[in-house]
Every structure is written in structure tokens, then in C-alpha cells.
Structure 1
Amino acid sequence: MSQTLDATTIEAINGYDSEKRFQYCIKEVVANRQIWILVDEDGCVMLNTEDEDCVPVWPNQEFAQAWANGEWEDCQPEPISLNKWHSRWTHGLEDDDLSIVVFPNAEQEGVIVFPDEFDFELKKQAQKR
């Protein structure tokens, strides 16, 4: 499972641009075999752009937990196994016409992809291992 990240590592990763955070997320998710989301009593946290409704995902518990403040302070990080993601979440998100915002930062900036694109990147990374 995932190792705990120290403050220096977290700060360095938070300084990455959206594309570099995307690549980091793909590698971490495959290495740790889990994806992190935020949930509350209503379910999964959603972010909205002008065009799309998105589910934010993070590579590690620490980054998801950092988002659980302000309007999301009642939310809890929740891991989803990579197998469960592939078998349920990708199709569920597609069926609900939702996108994924990968590893959004504090300014809510992240790479937005369709579920099948995210799945493709995860599987491509898994083949490299």
C-alpha cells in the first residue's frame, strides 16, 4: 500500500503544474493500486466547470485530505482499489456523463479527462511495470 508522504515531498509535488501532477497521479495510482476520492453523506465530491461535472481524484490520501476543508470540511478521503475503479467506476462515470479532474491543486486546477482516457492511461502505465 501507499507510504506516508512527508511535508517536504507534499510541498514539492504541490508545486508541480497540472500535467506533471497528472503524470505523478497515474504512476502513484498504479504503484499503490488505489485511487483517492472525497466523500460525504451524499456521496462523492463533485467539481463543476463551465462545461462539465467532474469527479476529482488524488494519488494519495494526504492530497485528498488536504482538500477536506472549507466547504468540504465534512468530507473524508476514501480509497478505491484499482480493480474496482476499472470494473465499476469507469463505466459508471461514463454512464453518468461525468469527467475526471486528475489531482486538482488548491486553485482547483487539474487535467480534465474522460473516464475512458483515464482508464487508458492507467492501463498503459501498468504495462510499464
Structure 2
Amino acid sequence: MNGMLNERKPIYEQIKDWISDQIIDKSLRPHDRVPSTNEMVTFFKVNHLTVSKGVNQLVDQGAIYKKRGVGMFVADGARETLIAERKKKFKEDYVKPMVNEMYVLGLKEKELNQLIERVKEDEYGQRRV
């Protein structure tokens, strides 16, 4: 995210996603220190309460834990928890609407799969092996 925020979603969610992304891609591993709230306030140039809201959601999920006076750290199993949450959100936000549109357009599953393969090839250079 490189300190750049956008207007597409609330800032606290973007900060939560920024930390989550680092846990998912293994930049942050279990028991690694997470940047402090003050560091994130300075980095993103946002209000302390905004950062706290995003961080506290991760604490509530059990993805990170706080050690009073020491800092915040990645919890055991955080990556798996966050991936499971993202998959659920992906299903609700993308797959369900896509399947609904598939039925509206009268597409068959094979046609949908071909469209997905075409997008993967066009956008990512990936071919089915």
C-alpha cells in the first residue's frame, strides 16, 4: 500500500488489509512485531483512532495480540484465520454476484470457466497446464 490510501473503502479497513496482506504473504510471521499505532499514524498520515479501529479488528479476530508496553505481534494461526476470512468475503463479494450474472446471461459453467481462463491469460499470462 506504500502509505497510499484510496477513497474506495474506509481508511481503517485499508489499514487492516495492509497488515493482513503482510501476514498472508508471510512478510509478518507468528510473533513478529506489527508496526505500532504511532508508526502507522505517521506513515499513513491519519488519525490515531482510525488506525486503532483497524488494528482492534485484527485483535478481535485473534490475528494479532498486544503486549502492554511492548507492542503488537502476529498471533499463531493468524495467516490461516485471515485467509479463511478473505475466502468467505471473496465468495460473498465476487463469486455470488458473478454466478447470479451468469444465470441472468444464460452462460453455461463451461463458458464461465473459459472466460476466467481468458482473463487469467490476458491479465497474468497464465495458461492452463
Structure (1 or 2) with the larger CA radius of gyration? 2
TM-score (norm 1): 0.30
Tell me: higher relative CO, structure 1 or 2? Use CA pairs within 8 A at least 6 residues apart. Answer: 1
TM-score (norm 2): 0.30
Structure number with the higher helix fraction is: 2
